[in-house]
């Protein structure tokens, strides 16, 4: 394993530009010197300039939480990958379960976004995950396989620019994370499927776990062999809890070598 663990924060619809500046003033000193993890924060669009300015001179990266698939045009309310890139983003999260379930995004739409974002040179974090009903009906692996295959259709040759976040919908924002061994089983399955898509590049993908990650469960999740990072919602909003998660990742990555 050569890639650094990816410790990513998804702020969702939280924080103003002023609160963004205050956050980084506290957060930056807390994660100074961590070299075995890559730290990414995805704030709301309006906070991106403040975030990019705040992290200048540090290794912290900034990403978007979504984008549209066209470069420009009459798409009221949308943001293009070109805009994200020029604003200083290196990553974009696509296919988050809230985009799928609240905003009705289909695998086809998500795939168009993935293609467009990669074309613009952004790294993509594609989110996949089953609902509680799907899990209880024994559909977890079918759902994940479909979301992966449709989401990555046509970009199989660019897997080295993609990371996947496995986020069981029932674990998001509920305080109840997946059991590490259950998450590990799905992560292993995701790597199997990625190898089918591109045997050369599958190992380059970091498959992150997301869903109620917090300082108290980060170690047990991140110490699973196929969990190569985390996507953190609620616990990324507080500088100290997100920094603790990053430190746990850094310690584990350093000891794994
Ligand atoms: P959570 O959200 O950590 O608040 O559960 C994770 C996510 O939705 O990315």
Distance 230 CA to ligand 1 centre (A): 10
Question: Does residue 90 carry a catalytic annotation?
Answer: no
Tell me the pTM.
0.97
Cβ of 211 below 6 Å from ligand 1 = yes
Cβ of 184 below 6 Å from ligand 1 = no
User: In CATH, what number is assigned to the domain containing residue 16?
Assistant: 3.20.20.70
Cβ of 93 below 6 Å from ligand 1 = no
Note down the domain range covering 120.
5-256
> What does the pLDDT average to over 87-92?
98
Q: How many domains does the chain have?
A: 1
Is the pLDDT at 123 greater than 80? The verdict is: yes
Question: For residue 176, which phi and psi values (nearest 5 degrees)?
Answer: -110, 105
Is the pLDDT at 257 greater than 90? The verdict is: no
Is the pLDDT at 143 greater than 60? The verdict is: yes
Distances (CA, A) of 32 to 24, 243, 252: 12, 10, 17
CA neighbours within 13 Å on the CB side: how many for 29? 3
Cβ of 172 below 6 Å from ligand 1 = yes
| Active-site residue, selected from the candidate residues 38, 120, 130, 167 | 167
> What does the pLDDT average to over 77-103?
98
Question: Does residue 167 carry a catalytic annotation?
Answer: yes
Percent of the chain scoring above 70 in pLDDT: 98
Task: Give the pLDDT of residue 252.
Answer: 94
Task: Give the pLDDT of residue 1.
Answer: 47
Residues in the chain: 257
> What does the pLDDT average to over 224-250?
98
């Amino acid at each position: 394993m050569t890639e650094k663990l990816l410790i990513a924060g998804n702020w969702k619809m939280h924080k103003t530009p002023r609160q963004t500046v205050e956050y980084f003033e506290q957060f930056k000193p807390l994660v100074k010197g961590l070299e075995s993890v890559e730290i990414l924060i995805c704030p709301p669009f309006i906070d991106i300039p403040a975030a990019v300015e705040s992290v200048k001179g540090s290794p912290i990266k900034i990403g978007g939480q979504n984008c549209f698939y066209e470069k420009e045009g009459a798409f009221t309310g949308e943001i293009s990958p070109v805009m994200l890139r020029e604003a200083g983003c290196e990553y974009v999260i696509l296919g988050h379960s809230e985009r799928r379930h609240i905003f009705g995004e289909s695998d086809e739409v998500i795939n168009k976004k993935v293609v467009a974002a990669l074309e613009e040179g952004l790294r993509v974090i594609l989110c996949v995950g089953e609902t509680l009903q799907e899990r209880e009906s024994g559909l977890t692996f079918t759902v994940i396989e479909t979301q992966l295959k449709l989401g990555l259709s046509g970009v199989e040759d660019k897997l080295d620019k993609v990371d996947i976040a496995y986020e069981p919908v029932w674990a998001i924002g509920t305080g109840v994370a997946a059991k590490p061994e259950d998450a590990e089983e799905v992560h292993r399955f995701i790597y199997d499927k990625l190898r089918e898509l591109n045997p050369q590049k599958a190992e380059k993908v970091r498959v992150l776990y997301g869903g109620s990650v917090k300082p108290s469960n980060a170690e047990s999740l991140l110490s699973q062999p196929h969990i190569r990072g985390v996507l953190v919602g609620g616990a990324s909003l507080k500088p100290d809890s997100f920094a603790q998660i990053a430190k746990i990742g850094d310690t584990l990555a350093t000891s794994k070598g």
